[in-house]
Structure 1
């Protein structure tokens, strides 16, 4: 049985692993502009998923003017379909402060069913971000 852990990032070495996963998934695979990928790093709380001690997924959350935004969910191709995305969403949600009433994210279309499992509902029109189609999704209590 594979062991999956999601931990809050505390040091530079772990943050470097998060950045490497995001670079591979977003910049290389999805051709996102690198300068967009590294916005808002300092004010974000980052998470790293490992499976059998190998870094395999990442995400972050940050407080914005609207509320709490979950973002940058990335799972390396070799690890997709192993519930890592679900573990990352659960960890990020569990880490939010108790007063986090408005929680939202911008979901790539194929990821929407994952977020829906956690109570997120699409709101507003479809839009393009970094050349990829998205919907804003808001968590309903």
Structure 2
């Protein structure tokens, strides 16, 4: 397994991330495509991480850094259905955290789907605030100090 990183929204790596997100969020979870990839500025200013096996792209996550570059939003964590149970999400998140630390990011925030809220505490994320709905799916904010 290899993880590739890009900020280039015209790269093959980015298009692989979009394909995975479309499969997981739009097709599986019913999120409207316009919500999933609705903000071109966020897409262009995010760092996109994509995992690959020997044949294809298998998972993705992105990091949207805030203007201060000291904090960022972890978003769009997705692993193809047939690739789940291979710990790809853990590897992607570890890579993102490592990247954030190397770039002096101090705080990471994410909106965890309630079905995945148990995954993030093992990486140091702590729940914050109330449950809310985003794209028709219940979420909880989680935060990690680096």
TM-score in terms of structure 2 length: 0.87
Match of 2:132 in 1: 127
Answer yes or no: is the 8 Å Cα contact 2:131–2:140 preserved in 1: yes
CA deviations over 1:38-87 (Å, ceiling 9, x no partner)? 12101100011112332110110011258211110000000011100001
Contact 1:85 1:114 in 2 (8 A): no
Residue number in structure 2 paired with 1:56:
58
Secondary structure of 1:82's partner? coil
- Give the match for residue 88 of structure 2: 84
Match of 2:4 in 1: 7
Number of residue pairs the alignment of both structures matches: 138
Residue 100 of structure 1 deviates from its aligned partner by: 1.2
Please tell me whether residue 94 in structure 1 is matched to residue 98 in structure 2: yes
Matching of residue 103 in structure 1 with residue 114 in structure 2: no
The answer to whether the 8 A contact 2:4-2:13 is kept is no
Contact 1:121 1:140 survives alignment (8 Å):
no
Using the alignment, how far apart are the partners of 1:88 and 1:48 within structure 2?
A: 7
Root-mean-square deviation (CA), in Å? 1.6
Q: Could you tell me how far 1:110 is from its partner in structure 2? A: 1.9
Q: Which runs of 4+ in 1 moved over 3 A?
A: none
* Cα distance in 1, alignment partners of residues 65 and 145 from structure 2: 17
